[in-house]
Chains A and B, each alone.
Chain A
Amino acid sequence: MPSYLKHTRIVVVDNGASTIKLGVKGFNDSDSRVIPNAIVRSKGDKATYYGHEIEKCTDYSSLHYRLPFEKGYLVDWDAQKAIWDGIFTTDYLMLDPTESSLLMTEPYFNLPNLQDVYDQFVFEEYEFQSYYRCTPASLVSYGKLYREKGQPSPECVLVVDSGFSFTHVVPMINGSIMWEAVKRIDVGGKLLTNQLKELVSFRQWNMMDETYVMNDVKESCCFVSTQFTRDLDICRANPIGNPIVQEYILPDFSLNRRGHVRRPDEMMEDSYQILHMNSERFAVPEIMFRPDDIGLEQAGLAQTIAHSISLLPEDIQGMFWSNIGLIGGSTKFPNFCSRLAAELRTLAPVDSEVKIYESSDPILEAYRSAIAFASKPDFLQKVVTREEYNESGSNACRRKFPDWKPKEGEAALTKGKVSVELQDVVREDEEGAPAHPGDVVGRKTDSALG
């Protein structure tokens, strides 16, 4: 490790599809700044807000969102650069990026071509001195999620990360992700908010353009049902006077009044517009447990966890059942943990203990764990330095970062190279018996991978 790295300040960025969690190690690091990862256009304000500037917004009606992430992966680098340009500055961070180190998260199974762009932005655009890139789950073992008094950290854990774009089940042994058992459900907060928007727009008010408002309704009202059909019956029997129904008072931005759930003693005013939240309260989060309710042909969360564990070595499966941890904003729905525990109990072997660990702040869990990791003395030995990048480019990052990446042989298997090899094969085959082109492709590709 070069000696100048010893006193480097470390910037920690959990770069999520919905929010960026950002802070500097040793500098008010327990409270990260949570910044929308979006460029937002407010019609009412006639203004565009980049990332953290959203706090200046006064009119949240019909906001237009431009998100750098699509399906959980960073695809719009123009938008991401516009947002990063505002935060990777000396003014905002109170330090010079070119003299500091960066710890940045990436999605699970990040595409290899996108990983390269991450590296290019960090070193070529913002010129950080050194950097480390990994997934949120691989940071969790440094944090407090599994810490119990007097107990060492468990060796085998299974992290459920349910965020904005999707939900991942991530088993780990001694901090290393078991990628062959990592499974993804394509349900996250974005889909749930959009589903809620559709339901209320059909049944009550047209809220299709009110993503901001409906996200707040989702966060304030929705919960996970522990007995879905019973709760449906309760709602159906008496749609107005049942214990589940809530009245959400919609915001009035012209009066600067925010939306909220009506309190029991709150007087109603004529100007109030009410959104009745009945079965919608639990039918929306239900999709995480039953994705087929909306036609998505994927198993629910509990079944997916059971499936993931079944792919792990049999003699240690029991340890995963008893070390399940929840992170990500979509695990915050009330009753999420008890519903999951009840479903897992029926799927787990009788002699296995099922235990679920909840974070005090599931959104910040990965960030706080990242701060703990950055505080370890060996963190700076794991980073890639700007010199190393200048010398060997993204190969330096592939060599050093432990999370998912294309293997040596596969990394070289770019599209161009495959087609060159195929041409060679076709020429060889022309001499012999004419072969079916499809067979040639299959055979040669396999052998090229060796």
Chain B
Amino acid sequence: MSNIIIVFFSDCGGQHRAIRNTQSVASAQLDPDVIAKRTRRHLDELERSNYSEPSALLAGEEDEDGTAGGRTGKGRARQATSDKRAAELGKKKKSTMNVRTAVLYKKSFTMLLDESGLASYPASVPTYLSAAAPPPKEPPRMLCSICGYLGKYRCKRCSMPYCDKNCEEVHDEARCERRVI
């Protein structure tokens, strides 16, 4: 599966560089699964609502605020944010069992998807699971992971693309610590 690594021979990088990369690509056996996992992790990071973890940012405010979810440091069940809010608003209504369940037991989207039973629907029924766009038709472009311009080379250790010697240096110093092998 080393065919995903494409090394472009270019006029500006010099022939010896291209040869060097070809050799290193051959020797460094990059596991496509590891790269796919790294891409997956990056895509998950792009879904986050906050960069800092709530525990770090709101430590100490958790008890008073309850926004961090889960249980407080003292081990007692947290007060639901909406209960605190309802009290502030002077709302007296007692919620039904269904509503209380939804408020108190938060489930992640993955859990809810699992519980929805969509996976057992026949393939002829369109659902969330079947609606994802098809894979792209063109091969992916190589964009430099440092400066964003069109890249020509890939790092021999982590296979991230870069465009020239400057970006290669920056990559080696700053980005390659995320090496995958």
Which stretch, B13-21, B22-30, B37-45, touches the partner chain A? Answer: B37-45
List, in ascending order, chain B residues with CB within 8 A of A413's CB. 117, 120-121
Cβ of B136 and Cβ of A120 under 8 Å apart?
Answer: no
Cβ of B133 and Cβ of A184 under 8 Å apart?
Answer: yes
Which stretch, A72-80, A136-144, A269-277, A372-380, touches the partner chain B? Answer: A72-80
Alpha-carbon gap, A293 to B150, bound state (A): 11
List, in ascending order, chain B residues with CB within 8 A of A295's CB. 39, 42-43, 140
List, in ascending order, chain B residues with CB within 8 A of A114's CB. 112, 116
Shortest CB-to-CB span from B82 to chain A, Å, is 4
Cross-chain contact of B136 among A43, A50, A299 (Cβ < 8 A): A299
- A31 on interface, CB distance cutoff 8 Å: no
Within 8 A of A (CB), among B101-149: 102-104, 106-109, 112-113, 115-118, 120-122, 125-128, 131-138, 140-141, 143, 146-149
Which stretch, A19-27, A81-89, A245-253, A322-330, touches the partner chain B? Answer: A81-89
Shortest CB-to-CB span from B54 to chain A, Å, is 7
A to B contact number (C-beta, < 8 Å)? 213
With A64-B50, A124-B96 as contacts: A307 and B134 at CB distance below 8 Å: yes
Within 8 A of B (CB), among A92-120: 108-109, 111-114, 117, 120
Alpha-carbon gap, A62 to B115, bound state (A): 35
List, in ascending order, chain B residues with CB within 8 A of A86's CB. 85, 89
Alpha-carbon gap, A404 to B112, bound state (A): 17
Shortest CB-to-CB span from B51 to chain A, Å, is 4
Cross-chain contact of A407 among B46, B93, B125, B128 (Cβ < 8 A): B125
Cross-chain contact of B106 among A67, A76, A415 (Cβ < 8 A): A76
Cβ of B95 and Cβ of A294 under 8 Å apart?
Answer: no
Cross-chain contact of A298 among B106, B133, B147 (Cβ < 8 A): B133
Cross-chain contact of B133 among A82, A304, A415 (Cβ < 8 A): A304
Cβ of B128 and Cβ of A299 under 8 Å apart?
Answer: no
- A359 on interface, CB distance cutoff 8 Å: no
Cβ of A199 and Cβ of B148 under 8 Å apart?
Answer: yes
- B34 on interface, CB distance cutoff 8 Å: no
Within 8 A of A (CB), among B23-70: 39, 42-43, 45-52, 54, 57-58, 61, 65, 67
Which stretch, A185-193, A333-341, A427-435, touches the partner chain B? Answer: A185-193
Cβ of A71 and Cβ of B93 under 8 Å apart?
Answer: no
With A85-B91, A112-B116 as contacts: A299 and B81 at CB distance below 8 Å: no
Shortest CB-to-CB span from A270 to chain B, Å, is 29
Alpha-carbon gap, A75 to B105, bound state (A): 10
- A205 on interface, CB distance cutoff 8 Å: no
- B86 on interface, CB distance cutoff 8 Å: yes
Alpha-carbon gap, A406 to B118, bound state (A): 9
Cross-chain contact of B50 among A82, A209, A445 (Cβ < 8 A): A209
Cross-chain contact of A111 among B65, B89, B128 (Cβ < 8 A): B128
- A133 on interface, CB distance cutoff 8 Å: no
- B99 on interface, CB distance cutoff 8 Å: yes
- B80 on interface, CB distance cutoff 8 Å: yes
- A386 on interface, CB distance cutoff 8 Å: no
Cβ of A85 and Cβ of B85 under 8 Å apart?
Answer: yes
- A222 on interface, CB distance cutoff 8 Å: no
- B3 on interface, CB distance cutoff 8 Å: no
Cβ of B126 and Cβ of A179 under 8 Å apart?
Answer: yes
Alpha-carbon gap, A297 to B139, bound state (A): 10
List, in ascending order, chain A residues with CB within 8 A of B67's CB. 39, 41, 48, 64, 66
Cβ of B136 and Cβ of A41 under 8 Å apart?
Answer: no
Shortest CB-to-CB span from B45 to chain A, Å, is 7
Alpha-carbon gap, A73 to B106, bound state (A): 13
Cross-chain contact of A66 among B49, B86, B128, B148 (Cβ < 8 A): B49
Cβ of A78 and Cβ of B89 under 8 Å apart?
Answer: no
Cross-chain contact of A229 among B89, B96, B150 (Cβ < 8 A): B150
- A194 on interface, CB distance cutoff 8 Å: yes
Alpha-carbon gap, A198 to B148, bound state (A): 12
Alpha-carbon gap, A71 to B43, bound state (A): 12
Cβ of A81 and Cβ of B103 under 8 Å apart?
Answer: yes
Q: Report, nearest first, the 8 A-B pairs whose CB atoms are least far apart.
A: A295-B39, A81-B82, A208-B51, A82-B85, A77-B102, A298-B133, A109-B128, A120-B98
A-B contact pairs, 14 of them (CB 8 A): A62-B57, A75-B109, A77-B106, A81-B82, A109-B131, A125-B99, A168-B131, A182-B126, A186-B132, A191-B46, A202-B146, A235-B149, A292-B136, A303-B136
- Which positions in A face B, CB cutoff 8 Å? 39, 41, 43, 48, 50, 62, 64-67, 70-71, 73, 75-79, 81-82, 85-86, 89, 108-109, 111-114, 117, 120-121, 124-125, 168-169, 179-180, 182-186, 190-191, 194-195, 197-199, 202-203, 208-209, 211, 229, 232, 235-236, 279-280, 283, 290-300, 303-304, 307, 404, 406-407, 410, 413-415, 418, 445-446, 449
- Given A39-B81, A182-B131, 19 extra CB contacts under 8 A: A66-B49, A73-B112, A77-B102, A81-B103, A82-B81, A82-B86, A108-B131, A121-B102, A125-B95, A185-B133, A279-B148, A279-B149, A291-B136, A292-B141, A294-B39, A299-B137, A307-B134, A415-B117, A449-B121
- Which positions in B face A, CB cutoff 8 Å? 39, 42-43, 45-52, 54, 57-58, 61, 65, 67, 80-82, 84-86, 89, 91, 93, 95-96, 98-99, 102-104, 106-109, 112-113, 115-118, 120-122, 125-128, 131-138, 140-141, 143, 146-150, 174
